[in-house]
Amino acid sequence: MHETTVSRRDIFKLLAAASAAGAMLPKQLAAQAPRPLTRPFKNPLTDPDFLNPVAPWEKPLVDTELATLAVLCDLIIPGDADSPAPSKIGLPDFLNEWVGAPYDDNRADYEIIRGGLAWISTRSNSLHALPFIKLTEAQQTAILDSICHPANTAPELSYGSRFFQKLRLLTLGGYYSHSSTWKSLGYVGNIPIAGPYPGVPDEIIKLLGLGDVIDFR
């Protein structure tokens, strides 16, 4: 049987890896054994040119799949006045790059995403005799509602549920790692500050009752 939920441990691996990239928790990576690299010698990934970054692999998804992804991503995270719709910041194209990558995790995601896009197309056609992107938003939402919650999904729809959960995870990751969404999320860094580091605002010190530990001498 396939997994219907990402295990807690996997999530903390992801969290830890995200932190590690920030040197917050150095060397806390997923405990996968080092394996031979995707290319043995000269490799634009092991010695990258940051001015001209390249992802040296094929993007497998075709236009109809990308169009379906655009609709799905925009339903998962709708655009509003605070931050753009995923389709406006190239998320379908990013997901195409993601599922094309040669690494084990990405190969696993490829299977779920590509198979899931076909599954949702079949589901849409069997219910409404139309492709998913031609449905009304209410019809689209009804299909998502039937698969979005892993614990409440009918057994025969579990394939769709697994797809939705993976797509939501990748959409959240791809969307909020795009700098155009940071302000709406509450990340206000990546800018230089002159002088000493300002530290925690008084408002938060008061809110959390940290007045007695603020003094580090």
Partner 1 sequence: MALLTDRKSLREYDVIIVGSGAGGGMMAMQLSLNGMKVLMLEAGRNYEPVKETPMFNTPEQAPLRAKGTPDRPFGYYDATVDGGWQVPGEPYADKPGTQGEFWWWRARMLGGRTNHWGRISLRFGPYDFKPKDRDGLGFNWPINYEDLAPYYDKTEMMVGIYGSNEGMENTPDSSPGVLQPPPKPRVGELLAKKHCKTLNIPVIPIHRAVLSQPMDGPKLAAKLFPDNPVAQKIVAKDMSSRAACFWATDCTRGCSIRANFQSTTVLIPPALASGNLDIITDAMVREVMVDDSGKATGVHYMDKQTRADSVAKARVVIVCASTCETARILLNSKSKLFPNGLANSSGQVGRNLTDTVGSGLSGHIPAMENLPPYNEDGAGGSHVYSPWWNYKNQEKLGFARGYHIEMGGGRTMPGMGSLAILDITSPGIYGKKLKEEARRYYGATMGFAGRGEMIPNENCYCEIDPSRTDQWGIPILQFHWKWSDHEINQASHMQTTFAQIITEMGGTATPRSGIDALNKPGQIIHEAGTARMGSSATDSVVNSFGQSWDVKNLFLMDGSILPSNPDKNLTLTVMALAWRSSDYLMAEMKSGNI
Site for partner 1 in 25-64 (CB under 8 A): 25-29, 31-43, 45-48, 50, 53-55
Q: How far is the CB of 87 from partner 1 (least distance, A)?
A: 14
Choices 8-16, 62-70, 115-123, 125-133; region in contact with partner 1 by CB under 8 A:
8-16
Which one among 60, 130, 134, 187 touches partner 1, defined by CB under 8 A?
187
Cβ-in-10-Å burial (0-12, 13-18, 19+) of 129 comes to exposed
CB nearer to partner 1: pick between 1 and 33: 33
Residues 149-168 that bind partner 1 (CB under 8 A): 149-152, 165, 168
Decide if residue 81 touches partner 1 (CB under 8 A): no
Choices 60-68, 114-122, 125-133, 199-207; region in contact with partner 1 by CB under 8 A:
199-207
Decide if residue 136 touches partner 1 (CB under 8 A): no
CB of 166 within 8 A of CB of 112? yes
Q: How far is the CB of 128 from partner 1 (least distance, A)?
A: 20
Which one among 1, 138, 156, 192 touches partner 1, defined by CB under 8 A?
192
